[in-house]
Structure 1
Amino acid sequence: MRKFLAVLFFLITVLKVRAQDSLHSTLLQDLVISTSGPQMYPLQVSDSIFQLPASVAKLDTKLLQSNNRVELAPILNTVPGVLMQSATFNTNRLSIRGIGARTPYGTNKVRAFFGNIPLTGGNSETTIEDIDLEFLQNIHIIKGPLSSVYGAGLGGAVLLQPKTADPDQVQAGVSATVGSFGLIKNRIFASYGAHTYSFNVGYHKVQSDGFRENSQYYREGVTITGDAFCKKNSKLTYLSQFTSLQAYIASSIDRETFLNNPKAAAANWKEAKGYEAYKNFMVGLNYDFALHENITSATSVFYSLKDSDEPRPFDILREKTETFGARSQFVGSWQLDGKLLKATVGVEFFQDGYDAATLENLYLENNGSGSLAGADKNQLFQRRNFVNVYSQLRYVFSEKWELNAGLNYNKTSFVLQQKYPLDNVYDTPYEYNGIWAPQIALSYLPSKHQTIYVSVGRGYSLPSIEETMDDNGQVNTSIKPENGYNVELGTKLFSVDKRFYAEAALYRMKVNDLLVAHRVLEDQYVGVNAGSTVHMGLEFMAQYKWQLGRKTLVIPYVSAALGNFRFDDFKQNDQDFSENDLTGVPKNQFTGGFMFNLPYGFGLKADYFFVDKIPLNDANALFSDAYSLCNAAVNWQGKVIDSLSLLINVGVNNLFNEQYASMVLVNATGFGNSAPRYYYPGQPVNYFGSFQLKYVF
């Protein structure tokens, strides 16, 4: 802890310099995140990310498309404090500052939005990996419970901003990517922008054989965005997307198989030919209106429907989730004796209905043809409602000092109907106590080129559907949401010559009523509140813009996250895990690399990633191995003719063919005589190439 404080003190007191945009566009001094933006609500109410008293990263289009245009993990993992473990294209776990690291499969405890449509369901699970990267304008990552506007989640929020049409332009184009292990992606897109309306549409198709057995992947989707009825004081915007996916599941493997035959699938998943398939539709509308020269309003409605099928060795899971909701907020801005005051108030309503059934899987009786549906096992229905009421205030009370404060109130209720077995029906309503989540931050600007801030905020995470039930399939009335306070001290600064930029943040969060998913059967988890955890860390990133001649630019960069994540008070099954390292998250991460902008439209990018060892079980008896990865890519961009542009990108991931676990299953349990399956092998060295042709009419 003393080392963390020493480093941060050095950064704040010595590096009083001035800079420009960071590599990952974390610094956007000229970006005004307007309340009338077409798809996204303001990040709190600050005028720029540089002045925002929080740790916020922004990944722009160029960075999102710098890899193979399919995988999101290599991009997100460049942000200090963020780790996206990736087993396959469709199986990922996103954690921020250790929050969400113990989730068995997938992502929860981190909220996400695609435009104004929430990607986090009523079961608290978040899916962002099926969004087409080439249809994203940018991604904002808010680390920690520092935004009342986005629900005050413990892990923060991920905001995916879809592309919209360029004003007064008509464009059309195609792109394609090919890569190792049968990776093929094709895409077509078109947009039309006018003064009073616009339209943008993209279609994509992705397929891959996968490098492991039983890991074939297929996805296609259509995304449409636009605006209509654009006037001086009002605008209607819309967003819709349809996705169809089928992805086979190799599942995790034990250590011996991981070391000797990482291409192998888990034997039972291979024999059952297990897979995940779904169709997902979502649509959102947003209406912006200026009520007064100082007051604006934004109201949105959204709807989504997801129908999925997942044959697994132990059963076949069929799910249907229908979601709808609305958000409405008002933003005011005033001058009080020459001092700026901005205020936001809003309300969000969300409801979803989750209908699930499991059937016997008779794959052992299907003559090697894979899964075969048998008799019903059980059915479950849950309807979950929540209301978020939020407010945010920014007061600039001097040239150097400003205050930000926010408050979020959440009230969640649900009805659980469990038919377990089918002739016994349990219909149980339940609600959690209302949760108040305040946040306050103080910023000091010693000059125009530096911000120093301190913030305190409370966050919470709601239990998933599995965590709300006991081992008899009934509501566990003793379960409570996780909650905790985050304290953060940070600085952002840049150099006088606009070449150097750095930022650092020191944080401490204690999470109480820790939600623990305990596996009682091969296909069943139950949740318990099992104590508390402490998350402490130092995050740092810096870059330098080095001009070599008139047409050559070199940008070296580095980022690091040094953490101390541990159980503070955690007892389970008569075992005391207090003071052990938190399962599923590395203590340290490091990223370094450089970008070259070269003459004649050429560019070069190379990255180095280091991920420390990860505790695999709560007893800290097993750890995954630390690993390092190197990725590199060369690109060229130019004009074929005046109106036709071409972009070519060729690259390699895992250049030195490191054998590593790209995702781990925490607290894995061996059933029967089998060894616990902790490991999802990462891809060996793999190559990709892509091009994009765009015509402007």
Structure 2
Amino acid sequence: MKKAITLLFFLISLGLKAQIQLKISDQITGLPLENVRVKADKTIQRTNASGMVAFAGENLKISFALEGYETLEKTFSSGEFEVQLIPNVLNLSSVTVTAFESERPLLEQSAAVVTVSERDFSRFNEISPVNAFNQKAGVRIEERAPASYRVSIRGSSLRSPFGVRNVKVYWNEVPFTSPDGTTALNLLDLSNIRTSEVVKGPSGSIYGAGNGGAISLYSQPNVAENRISTDFLTGDFGLSRFRLGISQQVGEGGIEASFVSQKSDGYREHSAVDRQVFQLGGFFPVSEKQEIRTQLLISDLDYQIPGALNADQLAEDPTQARPGSVNQNSSISQQSVLLSLGHLYRFSEKTSNNTTIYLNTNNFENPFILDYKKELGFGYGLRTKFTHEGRLGGKALRLIAGAEYQNGITDAQNFGNRNGVADTVRFADKLRAYQGFLFQQAELNLTEKLLFTLGLSENFSGYEIDRQIDATGGPTGLQTRTFDPIVVPRVALNYRLNPFSSVYGSISSGFSPPTIDEVRTNEGSLNLDLEAEKGVNYEIGYRLGKEKFNLELIAYYLKLDETITTFTNENGVVLFRNAGSTDQKGIEASLDYAILRNADGFIKDFLIGTAYTGQFFTFADYSKGANDFSGNDLTGVPPHNLVSRIDLRTRPGIYLNFTHQFTDEIPLNDANTVYQDAFQLVNLRMGWVKSLGNFDLEVFAGVDNLLDEAYSLGNDLNAFGGRFYQPAPTRNWYGGVKVGWRY
């Protein structure tokens, strides 16, 4: 009998050893979390009302996911454990960012870094990144026409009549910015951006050219389940958007594929958009030491350009196109393919290498009022970095070293435009743009609380313009411009005041050579004397992240020399010149507060937030002929911008997102004689989201520009003939549905 009892207890103990029991709760409130998706190996369960879940086995790697919380992955032996999930909108000490190739909590970062998450994107209509980015202090994306973006980080869009310049953009660790300095951000659908990090201010020590900063966009698959999903959205002005996606586990990794089609007629005459994007990504852990990542992006974009209006045309009918735009079919057609391969290798627990190589092709066609441009391009490049965790004199030391190289070759032809059809060739060039740099960075913990960072990059770049045809009889042949190698340093300190707050200070340098579009203008002239912008940024910041309250305060001063500005000649051609120097003083403040977090109540989240941007930018030394603009406000930059947010989520799944944005008046010319009036935008989205077994369902509706403001989201600067204004849509409504099935 005694032996039988002993055997019984032995069998019971074996069963207990093979059991993992988990209780999942909210880190802030301590309350249990229901419906958390918990995955161990290939088994997926959901927590009950008590936050409980159990798995048979031991030493299992288990992941946890719940909307509104940071995802978590840990390995558990057998036994009972309590797991706390962190709300993803709170607690800066738990938010990790990878800016400056340094994966650290935001409180330990010695730079102005802001994250834009899926939650930020889903607060709006999800047809563009504009609204999500514009709710962040110091960041502004303009949209002169649908799908025509201009990114301004701390006023960096001064020299961008169209496209994205002066900002370095990466997509899944691939340099998405071309080697000539331009970025076709409109080739990406919002579904191709899962999350984003924005580095504000010069960042040349790690990212190369771009005084405005750097933007890292991520959508690489980290497949945690097999899932099929689809979205459909419709709205005013003929808007429709359809997405189909699939995630499939393959061994320890997996693949994700998606297709998106978005169309709209546009608010203005001749402002339609038609875009299709296909993305295929793979994530394959080869071993404990190696991981392989692949990406394929195919984008087909067509959009019409209505053009800017003068004040009289704006008052008469803001929906009209600029005269000539329709007849000449002013528009852009662009097809692009990007293929990348990434490889992570861990030499040891302390040393690793991450390398990404890419190829891309681009077919670009742009009939415009004055001409017709065709370009066929091919490019390739790579980025590699080595990271080593070591010690120096007993203090923790992280060393980062790497390189980046890009090369782009383009056949470019400019024709006359006869009623929207390419006429005789005016000039044709074979273009080459290249840029590369080496970067090194050391991060030394001088004390447990004080982190010292020293970064440095050595940069080179240049252009080759081989003129094949010049119908005016001008010279043909090869002309080159090689920019002098430039060394760009950065030094920073971060001091941890306590577990919840920190201060930092930094001095960083940046530079930005002119793009080929600025050197080689539409009328055929070559401005090879245009100099690169060079800037030095001085910055201090304070961060506080504790439980329900986040606060960030930043002040900076950027001294920019050889500032590139735009002007328009009598034929309407945009030209460029160096304009002496500018003084750019700024303040940024962000506050997030959870009035209520109650995982067990009817109202689960009641969050408020605000972001203030103060930009006091002036021309320090700028004369043009007999005009001296020194002391004038910097063109295209609002001195004040304030965004306020309210987010409400309920236990039944009903949610409400409210956003109010105030933008101060904006000078539209260097003389400061023309301004856009201040405006206020209100956006609202509400919906219902629910998990029903293996199905996820969301139904939503919203309104943009609720107050029906008359405004421009992106103006033409220093425009000839007073054509400054690009009217944005009036009040407009949208609605849609999302369905997902886990199998």
Partner residue in 2 for 1:691: 737
Q: Which amino acid aligns with 1:392?
A: Q
Retained in 2: the 8 A contact 1:285–1:301?
Answer: yes
SS in 2 for 1:67: coil
**8 Å Cα contact 2:303-2:333 kept in structure 1:** yes
Deviations 1:374-418 (A, max 9, x none): 111111222011111101111111122110111111101221112
Structure 1 residue 166: deviation in Å? 2.4
Q: 1:547 is matched with which residue? A: 596
**Mapped contact 1:152–1:408 kept (Cα < 8 A):** no
Of residues 679-688 and 226-235 in structure 1, the stretch that sits farther from structure 2 once superposed is 226-235
CA distance, structure 2, for counterparts of residue 200 and residue 504 of structure 1:
39
| Residue 95 (structure 1) aligned to one of 146, 152, 167 | 152
CA deviations on 1:608-665 (whole Å, 9 max, x unpaired) are: 00111111111111111110011111121102x3101101221101001011111100
Matched-pair contact (CA < 8 Å) for 1:380–1:417: yes
Alignment of 1:190 onto 2:254:
no
**1:679 is matched with which residue?**
725
Task: Tell me the residue number matched to 1:402.
Answer: 451
Residue 151 of structure 1: CA displacement? 1.8
TM-score, normalization by structure 1:
0.91
1:467 is paired with a residue of what secondary structure?
helix
Task: Considering Cα pairs closer than 8 Å and 6+ residues apart, tell me whether 1 or 2 has the greater RCO.
Answer: 1
Counterpart selection for 1:133 from 190, 199, 217: 190
> Equivalent of 1:378, from 427, 430, 435?
427
Note the alpha carbon deviations across 1:141-177, whole angstroms, 9 max, x for none.
110114622225210011110141423x211111111
Task: Give the 3-state SS of the residue equivalent to 2:162 in structure 1.
Answer: coil
> What is the aligned partner in structure 1 of residue 365 from structure 2?
309
Q: CA deviation at 1:471?
A: 9.8
Larger radius of gyration: 2
Match of 2:307 among 221, 230, 251: 251
Residue equivalent to 1:218? 274
1:63-92 CA distance string (max 9 Å, x none): 112211112111111011111111222212
Aligned residue in 1 for 2:75: none
For residues 605 and 76 of structure 1, what CA distance do their matches in structure 2 show?
15
Number of the residue aligned with 1:148: 205
Partner of 1:45: 102
Note the C-alpha offset of 1:469.
Answer: 4.6
CA contact (8 A) 1:484 1:510 kept: yes
Partner Cα distance (1:27, 1:476) in 2 = 50
| Alpha-carbon shift at residue 96 of structure 1 (Å) | 0.7
1-structure distance, mates of 2:501, 2:360: 43
How far, CA to CA, are the matches of 1:257 and 1:179 in structure 2?
Answer: 27
Equivalent pair of 1:54/1:146 in contact (CA under 8 Å): no
Question: How far, CA to CA, are the matches of 1:90 and 1:618 in structure 2?
Answer: 27
For 1:105, the equivalent position in structure 2 comes to: 162
In structure 2, what is the Cα distance between the partners aligned to 1:618 and 1:95?
Answer: 17
- 1:529 aligns with 578
**Pick aligned residue for 1:390 from 439, 445, 456:** 439
Number of residue pairs the alignment of both structures matches: 657
1:437 aligns with 488
Residue 607 of structure 1, aligned match among 659, 662, 665: 659
> What does residue 50 of structure 2 align with?
none
Contact kept in structure 2, 1:165 and 1:192, CA below 8 Å: no
> Which residue in the other structure is 1:287 paired with?
343
The answer for the alignment partner of 2:57 in structure 1 is none
After TM superposition, list the pairs within 5 Å mapping 1:154-233 onto structure 2: 154-167=211-224, 169-233=225-289
Matched, 1:300 2:356: yes
- Is 2:408 the partner of 1:359? no
CA distance in 2, matches of 1:173, 1:120: 30
Q: Deviation of residue 230 (structure 1)?
A: 2.4
For 1:583 and 1:127, the matched residues in 2 are separated by 23
Tell whether 2:504 aligns with 1:453. yes
Per the TM alignment, residue 527 of structure 1 is displaced from its structure 2 partner at its CA by 3.1
The answer for the alignment partner of 1:343 in structure 2 is: 399
TM-score by length of 2: 0.85
Asked if the contact 2:715–2:726 (Cα under 8 Å) also holds between the matched residues in 1, the reply is yes
Q: Give the SS at the match of 1:271.
A: coil
SS class of match (1:322): strand
Query: Can you give the 5+ residue segments of structure 1 that lack an aligned partner in the other structure?
Result: 1-17, 34-40, 364-370, 671-675
- 1:49 to partner: Cα distance: 2.0
The one-letter amino acid paired with 2:540 is L
Contact 1:410 1:434 in 2 (8 A): yes
CA displacement, residues 394-447 of structure 1 (integer Å, 9 cap, x when unaligned): 111112211011111110122111245156413112211011110000111110
Measured at CA, do residues 296 and 385 of structure 1 come closer, stay the same or move farther in structure 2, by a change above 3 Å?
A: same
Aligned twin of 1:413: 462
CA distance in structure 2 between the aligned counterparts of 1:479 and 1:89, rounded to whole angstroms: 31
Conserved in 1, the CA contact under 8 Å of 2:128 and 2:189? no
Specify the SS of the correspondent of 1:439.
strand
State the 1:107 CA deviation: 1.7
| Structure 1: distance between partners of 2:265 and 2:525 | 41
Q: Secondary structure of 1:533's partner?
A: strand
Q: Is the 8 A contact 1:102 1:666 kept in 2?
A: no
Aligned-partner residue type, residue 302 of structure 1: Y
Give the structure 2 partner of residue 3 of structure 1.
none
Root-mean-square deviation over aligned CA pairs? 2.1
Deviations 1:256-314 (A, max 9, x none): 22223111011110222321111011111111001122110011111111101111121
Deviates further, 606-615 or 89-98: 89-98
Cα distance in structure 2, aligned partners of 1:564 and 1:257: 31
State how 1:264-283 maps to structure 2 within 5 Å: 264-283=320-339
Counterpart residue number, 1:7 = none
- 1:628 counterpart letter in structure 2: Q
Give the direction of change, closer, same or farther, for the CA distance of 1:521–1:333 in structure 2 (3 Å limit). farther
Within 1, Cα distance between the matches of 2:491 and 2:729? 43
Q: Which residue of 2 aligns with 1:120?
A: 177
CA distance in 1, matches of 2:728, 2:595: 34
For residues 84-140 of structure 1, what are the alpha-carbon distances to aligned partners after superposition, in whole Å with 9 as ceiling and x for unaligned?
Answer: 111222212111111123421222001101112222113311222331212322011
Change (3 A) 1:396 1:515: same
* Partners of 2:569 and 2:720 within 8 A in 1: no
Deviation of 1:521 (Å): 5.9
Match of 2:711 among 660, 684, 688: 660
Are positions 1:426 and 2:477 aligned together? Answer: yes
Compared with structure 1, are the counterparts of its residues 510 and 420 closer, same or farther at alpha carbon in structure 2 (3 Å cutoff)?
farther
The 1:147–1:425 alpha-carbon spacing in structure 2 relative to 1, beyond 3 Å, is closer
Q: State percent identity of aligned pairs.
A: 23
Output the CA distance in 2 between the equivalents of 1:405 and 1:186.
47
Q: Matched residue of 1:177: which SS? A: strand
1:324 aligns with 2:380: yes
**Distance between the aligned counterparts of 1:436 and 1:73, measured in 2?**
34
1:516 to 560, 565, 578: 565
Match of 1:399, as an amino acid? E
Note the C-alpha offset of 1:31.
4.7
Selected match of 1:62 from 116, 119, 130: 119
Write the letter of the residue equivalent to 1:605: N
